[in-house]
Amino acid sequence: MKVEIFAAHWGNNELPADVFIARVKAAGFDGIELSLPLDAAARGDWTGRIAAAGLALIVGQWETALVPEFAAHRAALAELLHNACAARPLHVNSQTGKDYFTFEQNCELLEMAAAIAREHGVPIYHETHRSRWSAHPALALPYLRQLPDLHLTADLSHWCCACESLLGDQPQTLAATLPRVRHIHARVGHEQGPQVADFRAPESQAALAAHLSWWDEVVRLRRAAGAERLTITPEFGPVPYTQTLPYTGAAVSNAWELNVAMLGVLRQRYC
């Protein structure tokens, strides 16, 4: 099984496209994960540049987080997913629904996404993420039972924060979740937040070990299933995900540097 590692555009949005793509190539990533503009010409400019650089593409959808009312959320999600699939990425990663929508409403969104994926022939995976349908394991597990073909992007840093634990007390949650994972966001969270200051620091080693154990299991499961590919995106984020010093607002670590360092860890471990 080929393990491919992607660079997150998140946190690099201020860079011109050619500068960011050159940075990704120089660091040794296999591709880019980013959200795409709805304008067809602007979308084509991004996809053309990425393809010309010999990089693969994952499209992310997060924008519906800004749409609180269900009907408008549903319409926005449909538009964004069709736009994402039109770019012909390896897959789409979607932050879908809301934790305050009803079970039936979120199921409607997930089923709509499945129909769009079938229409375009592009897989759509749904991210475990705070404030979405999957904000907490107790919210997510009923959807996994209801929708047997629902596949996930695992960003379990969010669940560490939501559960105030490294999930050691929830083996049944992991057993139900990890077989559904098709894409990983490799950010290390902790019991009080979704991002440690530096995963290489001694005080972060328990959290790092927990996340590596989950990623190891996903890799094992996908290899056992005969999968051709697994994708991983190191996703340490910018301020305020990156912690800051009081009064000055100075960042205590550099997210890009952490993502490149995580790329090295993942290459050594899985490739």
What average pLDDT does range 162-185 have in this prediction? 97
Model confidence at 91, in pLDDT bands (50, 70, 90)? very high
What average pLDDT does range 109-133 have in this prediction? 98
What average pLDDT does range 143-170 have in this prediction? 98
What average pLDDT does range 100-125 have in this prediction? 98
pLDDT of residue 84: 98
pLDDT of residue 111: 98
Model confidence at 139, in pLDDT bands (50, 70, 90)? very high
pTM for the model stands at 0.98
pLDDT of residue 60: 98
Q: For the chain, what is the HEC assignment?
A: CEEEEEEECCCCCCCCHHHHHHHHHHHCCCEEEECCCCCHHHHHHHHHHHHHCCCEEEEEECHHHHCCCHHHHHHHHHHHHHHHHHCCCCCEEECCCCCCCCHHHHHHHHHHHHHHHHHHCCCEEEECCCCCCCCCHHHHHHHHHHCCCCCEEECCHHHHHHHCCCCCCCHHHHHHHHHHEEEEEECCCECCECCCCCCCCHHHHHHHHHHHHHHHHHHHHHHHCCCCEEEEEECCCCCCCCCECCCCCCECCCHHHHHHHHHHHHHHHHC
pLDDT of residue 200: 98
pLDDT of residue 233: 99
pLDDT of residue 236: 98
pLDDT of residue 264: 98
Domains and CATH numbers, the chain: 2-270 (3.20.20.150)
pLDDT of residue 7: 98
pLDDT of residue 82: 98
Model confidence at 72, in pLDDT bands (50, 70, 90)? very high
